[in-house]
Amino acid sequence: MKRIITYGTFDLTHIGHINLLRRAKQMGDYLIVALSTDEFNATKGKHAIFPYEHRKEILESIRFVDLVIPEHNWEQKSQDVVNLQADIFVMGHDWEGKFDFLKSYCDVVYLPRTDDISTTEIKQIIKTI
């Protein structure tokens, strides 16, 4: 069984998120999503519209996702890859090169983002309404 892992906040889930999860799942058999907790987002200066538990439930309802785990800090990625026996680490191409240190544990793939959509853009549009 080939295991894939990805990380993110997944706030205001949109087609870009679905595309990333679909393409990640197509790389293997089992997709793990490490979801940033509200506390971790605060350390990054981010604030999700939906709390962690709601974002987790949304992700768990997506057919491509097999397991959702909490992401508590930047440093846990290596440990997660090893403990969860991930074969492939997947992130959007805006993170290109930032997680190459994981190549000693698994394959690292940066997928292209979906054009013309992002949570940041959605939040900006909502502010103007």
Report yes or no: 84 and 3 within 8 Å, Cβ to Cβ. Answer: yes
The catalytically annotated residue of 2, 25, 46, 56 is: 46
Report yes or no: 41 and 111 within 8 Å, Cβ to Cβ. Answer: no
Strand partners, 67: 32
Would the pLDDT of 30 be above 90?
A: yes
Predicted local confidence at residue 123, as pLDDT? 65
Would the pLDDT of 125 be above 70?
A: no
Annotated catalytic residue 46: yes
CA 59 – CA 88 distance, rounded (Å)? 19
The catalytically annotated residue of 2, 44, 98, 123 is: 44
- Reported as a single tens digit per residue, the pLDDT across 49-107 is 899 999 999 999 999 999 999 999 999 999 999 999 999 999 999 999 999 999 999 99
CA 10 – CA 84 distance, rounded (Å)? 21
Report yes or no: 38 and 44 within 8 Å, Cβ to Cβ. Answer: no
Mean of the per-residue pLDDT values for the chain?
Answer: 93
pTM for the structure as a whole? 0.91
